[in-house]
Amino acid sequence: MKLSTDSYKGVRDFYPRDKFLHDYIINTWSQVCESFGYESYNASILEPAELYKSKTSDEIVNEQTYTFEDRGGREVTLRPEMTPTVARMIAARQRELSFPLRWYSTPNCFRYERSQRGRLREFWQLNADICGIAHHDADVEVVLLAWKILTAFGATEADFEIRINDRRVFEHIFDEVGIDAGTRKSIMSLLDRRAKIDTFETELASLAGDKAKQLMQLLDTAASNPLLEDLRNRLVALGVTNIIIDTSIVRGFDYYTGMVFEVMDTAKENNRAIAGGGRYDNLLTLFDADPLPTVGFGMGDVTMKDFLEIHGLIPEYTSATDLMLCVLSDDATAFADALALKLRDTDVNVAVNYSYKKAGDQIKVADKKGIPFVICIGSKELEGDTVTIKHLGSGNQKEISTDAIADYIVTHEL
Amino acid sequence: MKLSTDSYKGVRDFYPRDKFLHDYIINTWSQVCESFGYESYNASILEPAELYKSKTSDEIVNEQTYTFEDRGGREVTLRPEMTPTVARMIAARQRELSFPLRWYSTPNCFRYERSQRGRLREFWQLNADICGIAHHDADVEVVLLAWKILTAFGATEADFEIRINDRRVFEHIFDEVGIDAGTRKSIMSLLDRRAKIDTFETELASLAGDKAKQLMQLLDTAASNPLLEDLRNRLVALGVTNIIIDTSIVRGFDYYTGMVFEVMDTAKENNRAIAGGGRYDNLLTLFDADPLPTVGFGMGDVTMKDFLEIHGLIPEYTSATDLMLCVLSDDATAFADALALKLRDTDVNVAVNYSYKKAGDQIKVADKKGIPFVICIGSKELEGDTVTIKHLGSGNQKEISTDAIADYIVTHEL
């Protein structure tokens, strides 16, 4: 019976060139987070299913999680998001950890959903959180961090914009208009879909009745709220000019309690959020732990890759291998092995080609793999003190002593 | 209701210091593999369940996999090992890939088993494979690579030994003694358990009858087999002196067809394999693809960490954050934010402490996190042109201009 070579539906195989781009995304996220003093953490993708039942959105838990019973009868979920895990880990050691705490991770997460552009069943997601700061300072920092990450990928401020809002502004308006608690949630959900639907006004009227008009007036003027203006002004002072107060930003998760924000791609063909987050000060209370003011955000690898493609920001592939030694006859193998071992100790990454094919065929393999330099080793090289190194990109070649190879490669690449 | 802060049983939370050590293991694996010209790849942990049903050992498939039905009725397995995945990926693109192919990955794998020392339900595993070389050269390279990885962790040759064998030696002996195909598998399995059981001789007698004595004589003299001697001699010539021919090495998986090896910890309290692999030339035939000669090995993070601990090779923790700016009053925040932003552009990783606590309390936080340098920013700093930078390890401190901070940190760390 023939086995299929297809991967499971909705997930990806990362061949070396895919892996290169994926690593580029993960490493850029990590480097910028570390430049802001964020520490890296991780956890297993397997979590007890109950972790998601109270705070993750109902749609995700009921329709989109991978949840199953293990062989011991325990209900397990493949994490659909990282926030419940980070809350669990902090709650477990709240007394030992020192605050402010800055943590980031780049986990893979799983959602059972129909595959479509920007959505896969397995995706990687940057999660960055600062905990222990109730002050606006932390809101400023997290938005700045998201902005700095986009610019680290080479994006300009024309490529994206940051839209900010504050959950407390809604609550204040709801209080003023007199909307009851149950209806608030439905209105928030409707506001979240505002840009995507045509029936916004009729749906709002059916929820808010004769209060709809006043509600919209207050929401439309909320942009001049002092909370949001202070946040925007501080970011502008730090050089973030593509920031917009947008009172239609809600964010789906129930756990947000203050500032919320989304980073939007400005490209017309990809007009959607590429990152989002906000303040959630109550998350630890699930674990009976002391409340902990927290601001954080997430950014996915699939949407990030789409963003980089649309804006021409995909980096050129470069092989991690510097040099291929092409062995031309089996009496040259020991020489090539010993030379490779010596070069590796001087930080040159060396592959040896043991196919014993013709020099031209071996060089073609190096070229196809993107390996920049080749040296052929045959009887001539065994007898003399020198080898000929060739740079495949330029066609340059030079006869040099084996001691000079490492320097030649470093210099040539400059 | 209070939620538990425990992780799922048998998996690990990686707090920043755990993550540091985990990254050290993964990065050391990766760097040495790349120095040998291996390219990084990856795939999803989710695989179609049928991928494991023919080649992975029965014990793993029937008792140890995490296998479940997804919401669409597909049977999915969390990969228990990486070899079937790499075979699937190569088979899918065999015509496009160029050989010899060197691939490595550091995936997490899952086995449902009782947690014990060195065994967890989720573990990370280095997988390195060279494909397309039927010649002994590839066997030599893979053993050399495993050896080089151990030495890159700081291990000496007294800390471990490499035991090699060859499946073809068994087959040759079985032919000579006249053991039928069905019994061969049982004898191989018995040989695999040889060192762990007291009943070896009686079990062998019940399987091989009056051929047992001749079989053992041939196995015991197999150490002088020319195949194995050539392999050992070539490795010795490359500097690998801790290599032993051991005809009791079998390796559990059915897919090996030639050389097999194990890296053993020599510490008495941890006398077990920390890596193992061999040649498997038939794996792609499952996919109806052309046979592809392949040699590879695996090495797990849990056993690796135990090995490092036993031999005193755990690296000291160092924070990725270089500097904490301690803000002493809220009029100093904008200054601290702007300074942090400037320093990050010169590759200094800077955390800002927004707690507004006393300087001493903020410095304690930096110290606890392992951040080496602190600068306090208060009204004095706002007025002058200089700040005082302090190195917490030595107690050294110096008043310098803000432009000199990056240099001071780099120089001080030398």
List of chain A residues whose C-beta atoms are within 8 Å of the C-beta of residue B139: none
Q: How many residues does chain A have?
A: 414
Residue B57: the pLDDT is 64
Candidates B12, B42, B124, B339, partner chain A, best to mutate (most A CBs within 10 A): B42
Query: Phi then psi for A39, rounded to 5 degrees?
Result: -100, 145
Sign of the C-alpha dihedral, residues A263, A264, A265, A269?
positive
| Residue A307: pLDDT band with limits 50, 70, 90 | very high
CB contact at 8 A, A118 and A272? yes
CB atoms within 10 A of CB B226: 7
Q: Tell how far CA B153 is from the center of its chain.
A: 12
DSSP notation for A44-103: -SEEEGGGGTTTS-HHIIIII-EEEE-TTS-EEEE-S-SHHHHHHHHHHTTTTS-SSEEE
CB contact at 8 A, B3 and A287? yes
B345-371 mean pLDDT: 97
Q: Above pLDDT 70, what percent of chain B?
A: 96
Residue B289: the pLDDT is 85
User: One-letter amino acid identity for B163?
Assistant: R
CB contact under 8 A, A349 and B50: no
CB atoms within 10 A of CB A5: 20
Q: Considering only CA atoms, which of B111, B141, B106 is closest in space to residue B127?
A: B106
**pLDDT tens digits, B231-251:** 999 999 999 999 999 888 887
Those residues with Cβ within 8 angstroms of residue B412's Cβ, 6 or more apart along the chain or in another chain? B373, B391, B396
Those residues with Cβ within 8 angstroms of residue A280's Cβ, 6 or more apart along the chain or in another chain? A83, A253, A255, A256, A257, A294, A295, A296
Q: How far is CA B382 from CA A141, A234, B331, B386, B387, in A?
A: 21, 18, 9, 9, 9
Nearest CA in chain A to B76: A8
Burial class (CB in 10 A: 0-12, 13-18, 19+), B211: middle
Whether B96 and chain A come into contact, CB under 8 Å, resolves to: no
**pLDDT exceeds cutoff 90 at B181:** no
Residue B253: the pLDDT is 63
Residue A101: the pLDDT is 97
In sequence order, what are the beta bridge partners of B243?
B162
ipTM, 2 dp: 0.94
Residue B413: the pLDDT is 67
Q: Which residue reads 């291998």 in tokens?
A: A321
pTM (whole model) above 0.90 = yes
Q: Which helix (H) or strand (E) holds A236?
A: helix A226-237
Burial class (CB in 10 A: 0-12, 13-18, 19+), A223: middle
A342-349 mean pLDDT: 97
Those residues with Cβ within 8 angstroms of residue B253's Cβ, 6 or more apart along the chain or in another chain? B55, B56, B57, B83, B280
Whether A141 and chain B come into contact, CB under 8 Å, resolves to: yes
A326-334 mean pLDDT: 96
DSSP code of A61?
A: I
CA distance A289 to chain B (A): 9
A133-155 mean pLDDT: 97
Sign of the C-alpha dihedral, residues A305, A306, A309, A310?
negative
Provide the strand spans (E) within B292-335.
294-300, 323-327
A164-179 mean pLDDT: 89
List of chain B residues whose C-beta atoms are within 8 Å of the C-beta of residue A331: none
Query: How far is Cα A163 from Cα A306, in angstroms, rounded to an integer?
Result: 20
Query: How far is Cα B402 from Cα B388, in angstroms, rounded to an integer?
Result: 9
CB contact under 8 A, A47 and B7: yes
Q: Which helix (H) or strand (E) holds A130?
A: strand A122-131
Query: Phi then psi for A75, rounded to 5 degrees?
Result: -85, 120
3-state secondary structure of A220: helix
CB contact at 8 A, B298 and B197? no
CA distance B362 to chain A (A): 9
Query: How far is Cα A299 from Cα A274, in angstroms, rounded to an integer?
Result: 6
Q: Above pLDDT 90, what percent of chain A?
A: 73
Whether B335 and chain A come into contact, CB under 8 Å, resolves to: no
CB contact at 8 A, A115 and B371? no
CA distance B257 to chain A (A): 20
CB contact at 8 A, A333 and A354? yes
List of chain B residues whose C-beta atoms are within 8 Å of the C-beta of residue A231: none
Those residues with Cβ within 8 angstroms of residue B95's Cβ, 6 or more apart along the chain or in another chain? none
Query: How far is Cα B359 from Cα B237, in angstroms, rounded to an integer?
Result: 60
Whether A370 and chain B come into contact, CB under 8 Å, resolves to: no
**pLDDT exceeds cutoff 90 at A290:** no
Residue A253: the pLDDT is 63
Structural domains of chain B, with CATH:
16-310 (3.30.930.10), 323-413 (3.40.50.800)
**pLDDT exceeds cutoff 90 at A107:** yes
Tell which wins on pLDDT, B175 or A13.
A13
CA distance A349 to chain B (A): 4
Q: Which of A37, A43, A51 sits opposite B351 (nearest CB)?
A: A37
**pLDDT tens digits, A395-404:** 999 999 999 9
Q: Which of A42, A349, A368 sits opposite B98 (nearest CB)?
A: A368
Q: Tell how far CA A291 is from the center of its chain.
A: 28
Query: Phi then psi for A357, rounded to 5 degrees?
Result: -80, 175
Residue B56: the pLDDT is 60
Provide the strand spans (E) within B91-121.
101-105, 108-110
List of chain A residues whose C-beta atoms are within 8 Å of the C-beta of residue B112: 70-72
| Residue A313: pLDDT band with limits 50, 70, 90 | very high
- Say which range, A34-43, A144-153, A244-253, has the weakest mean pLDDT: A244-253
**pLDDT exceeds cutoff 90 at B277:** yes
**pLDDT exceeds cutoff 70 at B55:** no
CA end-to-end distance (rounded Å), chain B: 53
B201-223 mean pLDDT: 87
Q: Which of B40, B71, B354 sits opposite A100 (nearest CB)?
A: B354
Candidates B352, B361, B377, partner chain A, best to mutate (most A CBs within 10 A): B352
**pLDDT exceeds cutoff 80 at B414:** no
| Residue A149: pLDDT band with limits 50, 70, 90 | very high
Query: Phi then psi for B184, rounded to 5 degrees?
Result: -55, -45
Whether A31 and chain B come into contact, CB under 8 Å, resolves to: no
Whether A140 and chain B come into contact, CB under 8 Å, resolves to: yes
Query: How far is Cα B377 from Cα B41, in angstroms, rounded to an integer?
Result: 46
- Say which range, A178-187, A299-308, B303-312, B353-362, has the weakest mean pLDDT: A178-187
**pLDDT tens digits, B105-159:** 999 999 998 767 767 999 999 999 999 999 999 999 999 999 999 999 999 999 9
CB contact under 8 A, A355 and B9: no
- Say which range, A147-161, B179-193, B368-382, has the weakest mean pLDDT: B179-193
A176-185 mean pLDDT: 87
**pLDDT exceeds cutoff 80 at B58:** no
**pLDDT exceeds cutoff 90 at A115:** no
Q: Which helix (H) or strand (E) holds A360?
A: helix A359-369
CB contact at 8 A, A121 and A229? no
**Chain A / chain B CB contacts < 8 angstroms:** 275
| Helix, strand and coil in chain B, % to nearest 5 | 45, 20, 35
B278-288 mean pLDDT: 88
CA distance A322 to chain B (A): 8
**pLDDT exceeds cutoff 70 at B287:** yes
Query: Phi then psi for A77, rounded to 5 degrees?
Result: -125, 140
**pLDDT exceeds cutoff 90 at B192:** no
For residue B261 the two structure tokens come to: 């090896």
Q: Which helix (H) or strand (E) holds A338?
A: helix A333-344
- Say which range, A183-192, A203-212, B347-356, has the weakest mean pLDDT: A183-192
Residue A414: the pLDDT is 60
Whether B285 and chain A come into contact, CB under 8 Å, resolves to: no
**pLDDT exceeds cutoff 80 at A106:** yes
A180-208 mean pLDDT: 86
Those residues with Cβ within 8 angstroms of residue A407's Cβ, 6 or more apart along the chain or in another chain? none
3-state secondary structure of A245: strand
CB contact under 8 A, B8 and A338: no
| Helix, strand and coil in chain A, % to nearest 5 | 45, 20, 35
DSSP code of A10?
A: T
CA distance A197 to chain B (A): 28
CB contact under 8 A, B13 and A334: no
Whether B95 and chain A come into contact, CB under 8 Å, resolves to: no
**pLDDT tens digits, A208-266:** 899 999 988 888 887 778 889 999 999 999 999 999 998 888 876 678 889 999 999 99
